[in-house]
Structure 1
Amino acid sequence: MAGYQALAAVGRSIVALLKLRFEEELPGLRRPSAVLVGTGDLGTVDTPGAAIQFPAVSVYCYRLSVDRETRAGWSAVAGADGVPRLPLRMHLLVSAWDGNVEFELEYLGLAVRVLESEPVLTGPLLHPSGQWRPGDSIQVVPDELALDSMSEAFQALTAEFRLCLPYVARVVLIEGRPAVEGERVATVLAEMAQKVTP
Protein backbone atom coordinates (compact mmCIF):
# COMPACT_ATOMS: atom_id res chain seq x y z
CA MET A 1 0.00 0.00 0.00
CA ALA A 2 1.21 3.47 -0.73
CA GLY A 3 0.34 7.10 -0.37
CA TYR A 4 -0.94 9.53 -2.96
CA GLN A 5 2.59 9.79 -4.44
CA ALA A 6 2.48 6.17 -5.63
CA LEU A 7 1.49 6.87 -9.24
CA ALA A 8 4.38 9.27 -9.76
CA ALA A 9 6.68 6.89 -7.89
CA VAL A 10 5.79 4.02 -10.25
CA GLY A 11 6.66 6.21 -13.25
CA ARG A 12 9.95 7.19 -11.62
CA SER A 13 10.68 3.54 -10.80
CA ILE A 14 10.22 2.36 -14.39
CA VAL A 15 12.36 5.19 -15.77
CA ALA A 16 15.11 4.54 -13.21
CA LEU A 17 15.15 0.83 -14.08
CA LEU A 18 15.41 1.58 -17.81
CA LYS A 19 18.23 4.10 -17.25
CA LEU A 20 20.18 1.66 -15.09
CA ARG A 21 19.90 -1.23 -17.53
CA PHE A 22 20.64 0.98 -20.56
CA GLU A 23 23.90 2.02 -18.93
CA GLU A 24 24.78 -1.63 -18.22
CA GLU A 25 23.85 -2.87 -21.70
CA LEU A 26 25.47 -0.04 -23.66
CA PRO A 27 28.59 0.98 -21.69
CA GLY A 28 30.51 3.69 -23.45
CA LEU A 29 28.16 3.57 -26.44
CA ARG A 30 25.55 6.01 -27.68
CA ARG A 31 22.53 5.13 -25.60
CA PRO A 32 19.05 6.56 -25.11
CA SER A 33 17.97 8.39 -22.01
CA ALA A 34 14.76 7.22 -20.35
CA VAL A 35 12.21 9.90 -19.52
CA LEU A 36 8.75 10.11 -18.00
CA VAL A 37 6.69 12.42 -20.22
CA GLY A 38 3.32 14.10 -20.36
CA THR A 39 1.05 15.09 -23.22
CA GLY A 40 2.76 18.43 -23.83
CA ASP A 41 6.16 16.78 -24.20
CA LEU A 42 5.04 14.79 -27.25
CA GLY A 43 4.64 17.94 -29.32
CA THR A 44 8.06 19.45 -28.56
CA VAL A 45 10.37 16.51 -29.27
CA ASP A 46 14.07 17.32 -29.78
CA THR A 47 13.63 21.07 -29.45
CA PRO A 48 15.65 23.24 -27.04
CA GLY A 49 14.62 22.53 -23.46
CA ALA A 50 12.30 19.66 -24.43
CA ALA A 51 11.99 16.62 -22.15
CA ILE A 52 12.52 14.26 -25.10
CA GLN A 53 15.93 14.73 -26.71
CA PHE A 54 17.29 12.26 -29.28
CA PRO A 55 18.07 9.50 -28.48
CA ALA A 56 15.43 8.65 -25.88
CA VAL A 57 12.90 6.14 -24.67
CA SER A 58 9.79 7.77 -23.25
CA VAL A 59 7.26 6.40 -20.79
CA TYR A 60 3.87 8.09 -21.13
CA CYS A 61 0.90 7.33 -18.88
CA TYR A 62 -2.13 7.81 -21.12
CA ARG A 63 -4.80 6.28 -18.87
CA LEU A 64 -5.61 5.19 -15.33
CA SER A 65 -8.20 2.54 -14.55
CA VAL A 66 -9.53 0.78 -11.47
CA ASP A 67 -8.26 -2.79 -11.06
CA ARG A 68 -11.58 -4.67 -11.05
CA GLU A 69 -9.98 -7.98 -10.13
CA THR A 70 -8.78 -6.83 -6.70
CA ARG A 71 -11.17 -4.00 -5.83
CA ALA A 72 -13.77 -6.17 -4.08
CA GLY A 73 -11.13 -7.80 -1.87
CA TRP A 74 -9.64 -4.46 -0.84
CA SER A 75 -13.12 -3.08 -0.14
CA ALA A 76 -13.66 -5.97 2.29
CA VAL A 77 -10.36 -5.18 4.00
CA ALA A 78 -11.37 -1.52 4.25
CA GLY A 79 -14.65 -2.56 5.86
CA ALA A 80 -12.70 -4.38 8.54
CA ASP A 81 -10.01 -1.81 9.36
CA GLY A 82 -11.65 1.45 8.26
CA VAL A 83 -8.90 2.37 5.78
CA PRO A 84 -10.19 2.90 2.21
CA ARG A 85 -7.99 1.64 -0.62
CA LEU A 86 -8.27 2.02 -4.37
CA PRO A 87 -6.31 -0.40 -6.59
CA LEU A 88 -5.32 1.24 -9.88
CA ARG A 89 -3.72 0.26 -13.18
CA MET A 90 -1.43 2.66 -15.03
CA HIS A 91 -1.65 2.26 -18.80
CA LEU A 92 1.64 3.26 -20.41
CA LEU A 93 3.02 3.82 -23.89
CA VAL A 94 6.75 3.18 -24.27
CA SER A 95 8.25 4.87 -27.34
CA ALA A 96 11.74 5.30 -28.79
CA TRP A 97 12.97 8.56 -30.30
CA ASP A 98 15.87 9.03 -32.68
CA GLY A 99 16.56 10.43 -36.12
CA ASN A 100 17.22 6.88 -37.37
CA VAL A 101 14.42 4.30 -37.40
CA GLU A 102 16.88 1.42 -36.98
CA PHE A 103 18.13 2.91 -33.71
CA GLU A 104 14.54 3.44 -32.57
CA LEU A 105 13.77 -0.24 -33.14
CA GLU A 106 16.92 -1.23 -31.26
CA TYR A 107 15.98 0.98 -28.32
CA LEU A 108 12.46 -0.42 -28.23
CA GLY A 109 13.89 -3.93 -28.30
CA LEU A 110 16.19 -3.07 -25.41
CA ALA A 111 13.30 -1.57 -23.42
CA VAL A 112 11.28 -4.75 -23.96
CA ARG A 113 14.24 -6.84 -22.85
CA VAL A 114 14.52 -4.86 -19.62
CA LEU A 115 10.80 -4.88 -18.79
CA GLU A 116 10.37 -8.56 -19.63
CA SER A 117 13.44 -9.54 -17.61
CA GLU A 118 12.30 -7.61 -14.53
CA PRO A 119 8.50 -7.37 -14.69
CA VAL A 120 8.08 -7.03 -10.93
CA LEU A 121 9.26 -3.88 -9.20
CA THR A 122 9.81 -4.36 -5.48
CA GLY A 123 12.20 -3.34 -2.72
CA PRO A 124 14.99 -1.09 -4.00
CA LEU A 125 13.46 -1.00 -7.51
CA LEU A 126 10.53 1.03 -6.15
CA HIS A 127 11.21 4.76 -5.94
CA PRO A 128 11.14 5.77 -2.24
CA SER A 129 8.75 8.69 -2.86
CA GLY A 130 5.87 6.19 -3.01
CA GLN A 131 5.86 5.57 0.75
CA TRP A 132 5.92 1.82 0.10
CA ARG A 133 5.53 -0.78 2.80
CA PRO A 134 7.60 -3.96 3.07
CA GLY A 135 6.32 -6.51 0.56
CA ASP A 136 4.77 -3.96 -1.82
CA SER A 137 5.31 -4.72 -5.50
CA ILE A 138 4.20 -3.46 -8.91
CA GLN A 139 3.93 -5.71 -11.96
CA VAL A 140 4.70 -4.19 -15.37
CA VAL A 141 3.33 -6.31 -18.23
CA PRO A 142 2.34 -5.83 -21.88
CA ASP A 143 -1.12 -4.31 -22.25
CA GLU A 144 -3.76 -5.19 -24.81
CA LEU A 145 -4.38 -2.15 -26.99
CA ALA A 146 -5.92 -2.42 -30.43
CA LEU A 147 -4.31 -0.53 -33.30
CA ASP A 148 -7.48 1.54 -33.72
CA SER A 149 -7.35 2.57 -30.07
CA MET A 150 -3.69 3.52 -30.38
CA SER A 151 -4.38 5.60 -33.50
CA GLU A 152 -7.26 7.35 -31.73
CA ALA A 153 -5.00 8.11 -28.80
CA PHE A 154 -2.49 9.88 -31.04
CA GLN A 155 -5.26 11.78 -32.83
CA ALA A 156 -6.53 13.01 -29.47
CA LEU A 157 -2.99 14.09 -28.58
CA THR A 158 -2.60 16.03 -31.85
CA ALA A 159 0.77 14.30 -32.20
CA GLU A 160 2.09 12.28 -35.10
CA PHE A 161 1.62 8.53 -34.78
CA ARG A 162 4.56 6.91 -33.07
CA LEU A 163 5.57 3.29 -32.90
CA CYS A 164 5.13 2.34 -29.28
CA LEU A 165 4.61 -0.56 -26.92
CA PRO A 166 1.60 -0.55 -24.58
CA TYR A 167 2.29 -1.67 -21.02
CA VAL A 168 0.26 -1.73 -17.83
CA ALA A 169 1.60 -1.29 -14.30
CA ARG A 170 -0.56 -3.06 -11.74
CA VAL A 171 -1.65 -2.90 -8.97
CA VAL A 172 -0.94 0.59 -7.66
CA LEU A 173 -2.81 0.65 -4.36
CA ILE A 174 -3.62 4.11 -3.08
CA GLU A 175 -4.41 4.12 0.62
CA GLY A 176 -6.88 6.64 2.00
CA ARG A 177 -7.14 8.17 5.43
CA PRO A 178 -8.58 5.97 8.16
CA ALA A 179 -12.26 6.53 8.93
CA VAL A 180 -12.82 8.86 11.87
CA GLU A 181 -14.64 7.25 14.75
CA GLY A 182 -17.75 9.12 15.87
CA GLU A 183 -18.77 9.73 19.45
CA ARG A 184 -20.13 6.77 21.35
CA VAL A 185 -23.90 6.60 20.99
CA ALA A 186 -24.40 4.33 24.04
CA THR A 187 -23.59 7.19 26.45
CA VAL A 188 -26.16 9.51 24.87
CA LEU A 189 -28.84 6.83 24.94
CA ALA A 190 -28.17 6.07 28.61
CA GLU A 191 -28.59 9.73 29.54
CA MET A 192 -31.84 9.96 27.54
CA ALA A 193 -33.20 6.83 29.27
CA GLN A 194 -32.56 8.38 32.70
CA LYS A 195 -34.48 11.57 31.74
CA VAL A 196 -37.48 9.61 30.39
CA THR A 197 -37.77 7.34 33.47
CA PRO A 198 -40.49 8.71 35.89
Structure 2
Amino acid sequence: MAGYQALAAVGRSIVTLLNQSFREEIPAGDPRPEAVLAGPVDFDKVDTPGAVIRYPAVSVYCYRLSIDRETRPAWAAAAAQDGIPKLPLRMHLLISAWDRVVESELTWLGLTVRILESEPTLTWPGPLDGSGDWQPGDAVRIVPDDLAMDSMSEAFQAMTTDYRLCLPYLARVVRIDGRPGTTSGEVTVVGSRTDLSGAVR
Protein backbone atom coordinates (compact mmCIF):
# COMPACT_ATOMS: atom_id res chain seq x y z
CA MET A 1 0.00 0.00 0.00
CA ALA A 2 -0.86 2.77 -0.79
CA GLY A 3 -1.57 5.86 -2.83
CA TYR A 4 -1.48 9.48 -1.75
CA GLN A 5 -5.20 9.35 -0.93
CA ALA A 6 -4.64 6.70 1.77
CA LEU A 7 -4.99 9.10 4.71
CA ALA A 8 -8.32 10.43 3.48
CA ALA A 9 -9.42 6.89 2.66
CA VAL A 10 -8.76 5.75 6.23
CA GLY A 11 -10.79 8.68 7.58
CA ARG A 12 -13.69 7.83 5.29
CA SER A 13 -13.41 4.14 6.24
CA ILE A 14 -13.75 4.90 9.96
CA VAL A 15 -16.76 7.13 9.36
CA THR A 16 -18.41 4.48 7.17
CA LEU A 17 -17.79 1.76 9.78
CA LEU A 18 -19.32 3.89 12.55
CA ASN A 19 -22.38 4.90 10.54
CA GLN A 20 -23.08 1.34 9.41
CA SER A 21 -22.77 0.11 12.99
CA PHE A 22 -24.97 2.93 14.33
CA ARG A 23 -27.72 1.81 11.95
CA GLU A 24 -27.34 -1.79 13.11
CA GLU A 25 -27.14 -1.02 16.83
CA ILE A 26 -29.78 1.69 17.24
CA PRO A 27 -33.45 0.78 16.63
CA ALA A 28 -35.19 2.55 13.76
CA GLY A 29 -36.98 5.66 14.96
CA ASP A 30 -34.63 6.28 17.88
CA PRO A 31 -32.18 9.21 17.84
CA ARG A 32 -29.07 8.18 15.96
CA PRO A 33 -25.81 10.12 15.60
CA GLU A 34 -24.07 10.64 12.28
CA ALA A 35 -20.32 10.07 12.17
CA VAL A 36 -18.43 12.75 10.22
CA LEU A 37 -14.87 13.74 9.42
CA ALA A 38 -14.31 17.16 10.94
CA GLY A 39 -11.63 19.78 11.46
CA PRO A 40 -11.13 22.70 13.85
CA VAL A 41 -13.21 25.09 11.76
CA ASP A 42 -16.18 22.70 12.01
CA PHE A 43 -16.10 22.78 15.82
CA ASP A 44 -17.01 26.47 15.77
CA LYS A 45 -20.05 25.96 13.51
CA VAL A 46 -21.81 23.07 15.22
CA ASP A 47 -25.52 22.77 14.33
CA THR A 48 -25.56 25.93 12.21
CA PRO A 49 -26.86 26.07 8.61
CA GLY A 50 -24.54 24.11 6.35
CA ALA A 51 -22.48 22.78 9.28
CA VAL A 52 -20.63 19.46 9.01
CA ILE A 53 -21.49 18.62 12.64
CA ARG A 54 -25.24 18.55 13.28
CA TYR A 55 -26.77 17.22 16.50
CA PRO A 56 -26.55 14.33 17.20
CA ALA A 57 -23.13 13.49 15.77
CA VAL A 58 -19.80 11.79 16.36
CA SER A 59 -16.82 13.66 14.91
CA VAL A 60 -13.54 12.08 13.84
CA TYR A 61 -10.74 14.65 13.86
CA CYS A 62 -7.18 13.86 12.75
CA TYR A 63 -5.15 16.38 14.72
CA ARG A 64 -1.67 15.00 14.05
CA LEU A 65 0.36 12.77 11.74
CA SER A 66 3.58 11.08 12.84
CA ILE A 67 6.10 8.60 11.50
CA ASP A 68 5.65 5.02 12.66
CA ARG A 69 9.20 4.47 13.90
CA GLU A 70 8.62 0.80 14.74
CA THR A 71 8.15 -0.19 11.11
CA ARG A 72 10.14 2.51 9.34
CA PRO A 73 13.51 0.66 9.26
CA ALA A 74 11.95 -2.38 7.60
CA TRP A 75 10.16 -0.29 4.99
CA ALA A 76 13.32 1.74 4.33
CA ALA A 77 15.17 -1.51 3.63
CA ALA A 78 12.41 -2.62 1.28
CA ALA A 79 12.54 0.73 -0.50
CA ALA A 80 16.28 0.34 -1.06
CA GLN A 81 15.57 -2.96 -2.81
CA ASP A 82 12.75 -1.97 -5.17
CA GLY A 83 13.41 1.77 -5.57
CA ILE A 84 9.99 2.82 -4.26
CA PRO A 85 9.99 5.10 -1.18
CA LYS A 86 7.72 3.87 1.60
CA LEU A 87 6.67 6.10 4.48
CA PRO A 88 4.69 4.48 7.32
CA LEU A 89 2.45 6.97 9.12
CA ARG A 90 0.27 7.10 12.22
CA MET A 91 -2.94 9.12 12.25
CA HIS A 92 -3.69 10.58 15.68
CA LEU A 93 -7.45 10.94 16.11
CA LEU A 94 -9.76 12.66 18.55
CA ILE A 95 -13.31 11.31 18.52
CA SER A 96 -16.04 13.43 20.13
CA ALA A 97 -19.81 13.17 20.53
CA TRP A 98 -22.16 16.10 19.99
CA ASP A 99 -25.68 16.38 21.38
CA ARG A 100 -27.80 18.74 23.43
CA VAL A 101 -27.89 16.27 26.32
CA VAL A 102 -24.74 15.16 28.15
CA GLU A 103 -26.11 11.66 28.77
CA SER A 104 -26.62 11.23 25.03
CA GLU A 105 -23.03 12.27 24.30
CA LEU A 106 -21.77 9.68 26.78
CA THR A 107 -24.02 7.09 25.17
CA TRP A 108 -22.63 7.82 21.68
CA LEU A 109 -19.05 7.66 22.97
CA GLY A 110 -19.73 4.35 24.70
CA LEU A 111 -21.20 2.92 21.52
CA THR A 112 -18.26 4.21 19.47
CA VAL A 113 -15.81 2.49 21.83
CA ARG A 114 -17.69 -0.80 21.47
CA ILE A 115 -17.65 -0.57 17.68
CA LEU A 116 -13.94 0.27 17.39
CA GLU A 117 -12.94 -2.37 19.92
CA SER A 118 -15.07 -5.00 18.15
CA GLU A 119 -13.74 -4.18 14.66
CA PRO A 120 -10.27 -2.69 15.17
CA THR A 121 -8.79 -3.79 11.84
CA LEU A 122 -9.70 -2.25 8.49
CA THR A 123 -8.62 -4.46 5.59
CA TRP A 124 -8.56 -4.49 1.81
CA PRO A 125 -10.58 -5.90 0.27
CA GLY A 126 -13.10 -5.05 2.95
CA PRO A 127 -13.89 -2.01 5.07
CA LEU A 128 -11.04 0.13 3.71
CA ASP A 129 -12.30 2.75 1.26
CA GLY A 130 -11.10 1.85 -2.24
CA SER A 131 -9.82 5.36 -3.00
CA GLY A 132 -6.66 4.55 -1.02
CA ASP A 133 -5.24 2.47 -3.91
CA TRP A 134 -4.66 -0.47 -1.56
CA GLN A 135 -3.12 -3.82 -2.35
CA PRO A 136 -4.73 -7.16 -1.36
CA GLY A 137 -3.95 -7.95 2.26
CA ASP A 138 -3.36 -4.32 3.31
CA ALA A 139 -4.66 -3.53 6.80
CA VAL A 140 -4.87 -0.55 9.15
CA ARG A 141 -5.50 -0.99 12.87
CA ILE A 142 -7.53 1.46 14.96
CA VAL A 143 -6.26 1.33 18.55
CA PRO A 144 -6.62 3.52 21.66
CA ASP A 145 -3.93 6.17 21.94
CA ASP A 146 -2.13 6.68 25.24
CA LEU A 147 -2.48 10.46 25.23
CA ALA A 148 -1.54 12.42 28.33
CA MET A 149 -3.94 15.05 29.59
CA ASP A 150 -1.38 17.78 28.90
CA SER A 151 -1.07 16.69 25.28
CA MET A 152 -4.83 16.66 24.82
CA SER A 153 -5.11 20.12 26.33
CA GLU A 154 -2.43 21.37 23.95
CA ALA A 155 -4.41 20.00 21.02
CA PHE A 156 -7.42 22.07 22.07
CA GLN A 157 -5.33 25.15 22.85
CA ALA A 158 -4.40 25.25 19.18
CA MET A 159 -8.10 25.61 18.32
CA THR A 160 -10.65 28.31 19.08
CA THR A 161 -13.24 25.84 20.39
CA ASP A 162 -13.60 24.97 24.06
CA TYR A 163 -12.31 21.67 25.42
CA ARG A 164 -14.58 18.68 24.78
CA LEU A 165 -14.61 15.16 26.12
CA CYS A 166 -13.07 12.94 23.47
CA LEU A 167 -11.57 9.55 22.77
CA PRO A 168 -7.94 9.49 21.56
CA TYR A 169 -7.25 6.80 18.95
CA LEU A 170 -4.46 5.84 16.56
CA ALA A 171 -4.80 4.56 13.01
CA ARG A 172 -1.66 2.60 12.13
CA VAL A 173 0.14 1.86 9.93
CA VAL A 174 -0.91 3.96 6.94
CA ARG A 175 1.95 3.49 4.46
CA ILE A 176 2.20 5.84 1.53
CA ASP A 177 4.38 4.76 -1.39
CA GLY A 178 6.37 7.14 -3.56
CA ARG A 179 6.89 6.99 -7.29
CA PRO A 180 8.94 4.05 -8.59
CA GLY A 181 12.61 4.72 -9.27
CA THR A 182 12.98 7.67 -6.90
CA THR A 183 15.07 5.88 -4.27
CA SER A 184 18.75 5.15 -4.81
CA GLY A 185 20.50 2.29 -3.06
CA GLU A 186 23.76 4.24 -2.90
CA VAL A 187 24.53 6.89 -0.30
CA THR A 188 27.10 9.59 -0.98
CA VAL A 189 28.74 11.31 1.98
CA VAL A 190 30.10 14.79 1.36
CA GLY A 191 32.31 16.44 3.96
CA SER A 192 35.83 17.43 5.00
CA ARG A 193 38.67 15.06 5.85
CA THR A 194 41.16 15.73 8.63
CA ASP A 195 44.66 14.21 8.42
CA LEU A 196 46.88 13.32 11.39
CA SER A 197 48.43 16.78 11.46
CA GLY A 198 45.05 18.36 12.08
CA ALA A 199 44.84 20.04 8.66
CA VAL A 200 41.48 19.94 6.98
CA ARG A 201 41.47 18.91 3.30
TM-score w.r.t. structure 2 length? 0.88
Structure-2 separation of matches of 1:20 and 1:71: 33
What is residue 175 of structure 1 aligned with on the other side?
A: 177
Structure-2 separation of matches of 1:115 and 1:88: 20
Greater percentage in helix: 1
1:143-194: CA deviation from partner (whole Å, max 9, x where unpaired) = 0111111112111111111000000000000000011699xxxxxxxxxxxx
- Identical positions, percent: 66
Say whether the 8 Å CA contact 2:85–2:183 is kept in structure 1: no
Say whether the 8 Å CA contact 2:35–2:57 is kept in structure 1: yes
What is the CA-CA distance between 1:27 and the residue it aligns to?
2.6
Structure-2 separation of matches of 1:145 and 1:9: 24
TM-score w.r.t. structure 1 length? 0.90
What is residue 156 of structure 2 aligned with on the other side?
A: 154
CA RMSD of aligned residues (A): 1.3
* Runs of 4+ residues over 4 Å off in structure 1: none
Structure-2 separation of matches of 1:117 and 1:151: 28
User: 1:110 is matched by which residue type in structure 2?
Assistant: L
1:31-65: CA deviation from partner (whole Å, max 9, x where unpaired) = 00000011211111111110000000000000000
Say whether the 8 Å CA contact 2:83–2:183 is kept in structure 1: no
Where do 5+ consecutive residues of structure 1 fail to align? 183-198
Where do 5+ consecutive residues of structure 2 fail to align? 185-201
What is residue 19 of structure 1 aligned with on the other side?
A: 19
Structure-2 separation of matches of 1:86 and 1:43: 33
Q: Which structure 2 residues correspond to residues 13-162 of structure 1 after superposition, within 5 A? A: 13-28=13-28, 29-122=30-123, 123-162=125-164
Count of paired positions: 182
